[in-house]
Amino acid sequence: MKKTAEDFAHIPGWGIDADPKNEPTYPNRHRTGEEHDGYSWERPVQQVLDREVLHSNERPNYSAVVGNSVPPSGLSGMIRRFAFRYSENEYRHWLPLLVADKVNVVEGIIDDLAHGTVPNIWAEKGYNAQWKHDKKGMLVKLATAAAVSAGLVYWLLPKNKPRPKAAARGRYASGSRARVSL
C-alpha cells in the first residue's frame, strides 16, 4: 500500500515544503563553490593560547576563541590526547572521551582527599534530589549497586579449598609413626 499526499492532507502544514521555490533551503542548492576556496570572510584575531587546547584533527586550525578552563592533565589527559588523534566519526574518538570523564571524576576525588577535603559525593551526585523526587529509582540504583558490590566481594575473596584426607590425619595414614634411627 503506497501512501499518497491525500492521506496526510488532514495534518496542518503537511507538504508546505513541497514547492522548491517556497523551500527555505532552496537557494543553497545552487552554490557557486566559491565558499569552498577558503575563508570568504575576514577571520577574527586568534586568541593567544597559553595552555594546551585539544581540537579536532579534521580542522586545520583552532577556532578564533577557545574556552578551556582546565587543561588536560593526569591519566584522563593522556586518554583525551589519545582520543583526539582520531576522527570525530570513530568510536576511537568518543569512547575514550567517555572513559576520560569517569577517570577525571576519580582523579578529582583523589585530589580533594590529597588537599584534606573530604568530598560530599552524596550531595555532589544529586542523590538528595533523587531521593525526594524518585525514591523508587533511587532504591533500584542502591539495590543494584549493593548486588554488584556483593558479587564482586564474593568473587574476589579467596576460596577455602578442602584439604586432602591424608593430609588432615597427619603424615602417615595408618596412625603409626616410623622410628628414625641415627
Is it the case that residue 75 has pLDDT exceeding 90? yes
Looking at residue 160, its amino acid is N
Provide mean pLDDT across the span 98-114: 93
Q: How confident is the model at residue 121 (pLDDT cuts 50, 70, 90)?
A: confident
Q: Within 13 A of 150's CA, how many CA atoms are on the CB side? A: 6
Evaluate if pTM is beyond 0.85.
no
Q: What is the DSSP letter of 33?
A: S
Looking at per-residue pLDDT, the higher value among 125 and 162 belongs to 125
Cα–Cα distances (Å) from 172 to 138, 166, 178, in that order, read 60, 7, 9
Is it the case that residue 162 has pLDDT exceeding 60? yes
Quote the pLDDT of residue 46.
Answer: 79
- Integer Cα distance of 15 and 9 in angstroms: 8
